[in-house]
Amino acid sequence: MMLNDKRLLITGVVNNDSIAFATAERAIEAGAQVMLTAFPRDRHLTEEAARHLPGEVGVAELDATRAEDIEALGHRLAADFGHLDGVLHAIAFAPREALAGDFFEAGPESVSLAFHTSAFSYASLGRLLRDLAPDGGGSLIGLDFDAAGAWPVYNWMGVCKAGLESVNRYLARDLGPLGIRSNLIAAGPLHTRAAGGIPDFDALLENWETRSPLKWDAEDPYPVAEVACFLFSDMARAISGEIVHVDGGYHAMAGNLRKVDAEELVGGAA
């Protein structure tokens, strides 16, 4: 199987509707051993989601902004797995004032927390993988939302994603000599728990309905998960520093392709 005997850390699983959960499920089906991380106050939710995955899946607490949590996680992984072949960074957070309202009104504390959680933590997990990867290397993957331009919503989180894209390139530079790859997946908008915190999320979906050349299903995280599994696999052994777009082709279009009535937008629970 594509990920036979790979040992993977999957962050960001809070329920079974997320990209992270779908990635864990597909990875296990492909032969991987998986450990999940849980933000401390959400541990019970992550453990409940883990029960929907095939086999026994461990859960470790992680606040990715705390160095002591990263260190403790490293000890847990060394004890349970011995080594680590890959990490999915599915962590992002911004206080509401950094996401909504006037871009100029967000305070430095909110922006700093958003950047630490959403971009700097990617480097922290890269360091963890560096210390636990086998001699053959490994694969670090982050979840992105294309930061090539400014969105009508998203505000400082868009800036944080631009920072994440830059961090990815520097990690590819510094981890490459160890055989460790670093790549991002820029997914189209999906109805996940995180999406529920984005003001005017339906405005993003409307963009996809009018511009994406392929039909985009905002309820289906598995196309993203399957690309993550490819990037974890040895088939992606020469890919690093890349941003892989799994967005129905939206990013490649220069303008709208069609008009769509508001009633046709893909709905669903956040």
Residue 6: active-site member: no
Annotate the chain with three-state secondary structure.
Answer: CCCCCCEEEECCCCCCCCHHHHHHHHHHHCCCEEEEEECHHHHHHHHHHHCCCCCCCEEEECCCCCHHHHHHHHHHHHHHCCCCCEEEECCCCCCHHHHCCCHHHCCHHHHHHHHHHHHHHHHHHHHHHHHHCCCCCEEEEEEECCCCCCCCCCHHHHHHHHHHHHHHHHHHHHHHHHCEEEEEEEECCCCCCHHHHCCCHHHHHHHHHHHCCCCCCCCCCHHHHHHHHHHHCHHHCCCCCCEEEECCCHHHCCCCCCCCCHHHCCCCCC
Residue 154: active-site member: yes
Catalytic residue among 6, 122, 161, 250: 161
Catalytic residue among 122, 154, 170, 215: 154
Residues forming the active site: 154, 161
